[in-house]
A and B are shown apart, each in its own frame.
Chain A
Amino acid sequence: MNGSDTHSGKDHLFYRSMRFCGWSGVAAVTFFIIGGMILGGMLPPLLSPDDTAAEFARRVSEHVVAIRIGSVFLIFSFALFGALAAGIAAQTRRFEKAPAFSYLQLMFGACGTAVAVLVAFSWALMSFRPDEYDPRVVQVLIDFAYFLALFSVPVFSGWCLVIALPILFANEGEEPFPRWVAFFNLWAAVLYAPGLMILFFKSGIFSWSGIVALWIPFTAFFLWILVMSWGILKGAESARG
């Protein structure tokens, strides 16, 4: 088989970096709850795609301080996605001889992090001068933020898929994460799919403020972060020196 199996040795540096990656995921969720949910008005959505541009400008001006502070938390949260991505890929890499799925995971994770960071930029920008910008610009910035977050299904679902596949293809006992994590990723991948519908609906449950297109993907995504964080922390244990 292989003279050097990379996944069972003690490696204290690996252990500590993985602990960082795993806890980054938890931090990301926490910062999102503060920045996106409590302060920023992202979830539950402050506005709706069928509100008028004037309404957008008015509401944002009304909550401008909370949105600004929330945006700071959001950028921290989304930046940490990168650490989560690295942790997942590193754990997968331990069980590969030559890099394969781990590289795919890095690419999808990097893309996902970039998309998420843009969401935070957009959120912050919208609160920079809401009463000076043309109200339609404010509206576009929120539309842009939600489209980045929700319409990016192939990126995030693809990420879940390339996490699930190496687990399912692995030999018994040689999986980077427990097998149920693979099925969880497949479930999450399917749940992000309704995000594509926001392009076709400006009101109702399939719009970017709707239950099906907003709440379900976001809920699945943040649960996914917690599950993967746990997976990274658990996977790190075997390297503990």
Chain B
Amino acid sequence: MNETSSPSRLAVRPATIAWTLLMIATAIGWWFGETAQGGSGDVRLAIAGVLITAFAKVWLVGFQFMELRGAPRLLRHAFDAWVVIACTALIIICLR
């Protein structure tokens, strides 16, 4: 387990891994977005894909960048709960 206090002897900082994942996720979200607007392929699935990707990115920003991974469980789980609820609610509304 990588502590955030470890000196940069580590090959790659966890924050950098997170950044890379976020870049990839942005590309994935973009692809879903093209599908959702293009109309070729399942538009509803693409919309859900856009939202799930977006909230996965949001969660990663909270977990790693905002250091919730090392925060008290109450705070961390409150955030996790919000991510799930907000994402679900938006998917339901957008797919009405």
In-complex A–B contact (CB below 8 Å): no
